[in-house]
Amino acid sequence: MSTFAYKNGQIIPNIYHYERTGTGADKKISIEFVDSEIKINNGAPIIWDGQFDNQLYRLDTQLKLAAGQKTFSYDLINSRGELRHYDLRVLGTETVDLPYGEIQGVKVKLDRKNSSRETLAWFAPELNYQLVKLQQFKDGDEQGEIRLKSFQLLD
């Protein structure tokens, strides 16, 4: 769960909470973005220098794609409480076949330094640049895929 503010076209993180149980080892983390500090599980604070949490960079990606940006970078705190740097770049557009139906998607590659993982994501302009497909590969083998099944705008 991420809570955040949206001010002057910018996403500002507030609290990130992650909890996983039932598959593998249980995991839990809470991250607070307060003033100029980040507090992870109430530990010693670290300097907050514009980092996002593990989810908010995905929302910000939608904003950047809508603004026409083709390359951008993020520093974030992942679900393990570690600082990570991601570079994203647009590879082009293509038709994506989903349970939702066929839709045009902007294909984006997420580059991680010192990682054998590759992530590809498709964002649909006609759905406000919503993430509609994501594929994850490790050492060339697909590790997982998510695809949009339904979409509904709420009033």
Q: Which domain holds residue 92?
A: 2-147
Task: Find the radius of gyration of the CA atoms of the chain.
Answer: 16
In three-state secondary structure terms, 125 is helix
pLDDT value of position 31 = 95
Work out how many domains the chain is built from and give that number: 1
Does the residue 154 lie in any domain?
Answer: no
141 pLDDT band (50/70/90 cuts)? confident
Does 155 reside within a domain? no
What is the arithmetic mean of pLDDT over 82-110? 95
Contact yes or no for 55/2 (Cβ under 8 A): yes
Residue 25: pLDDT band with limits 50, 70, 90: confident
Q: Could you tell me if residue 99 is inside a domain? A: yes
Whether 153 is covered by a domain: the verdict is no
Question: pLDDT band at residue 85, thresholds of 50, 70 and 90?
Answer: very high
With respect to residue 82, please indicate whether it lies within any of the assigned structural domains.
yes
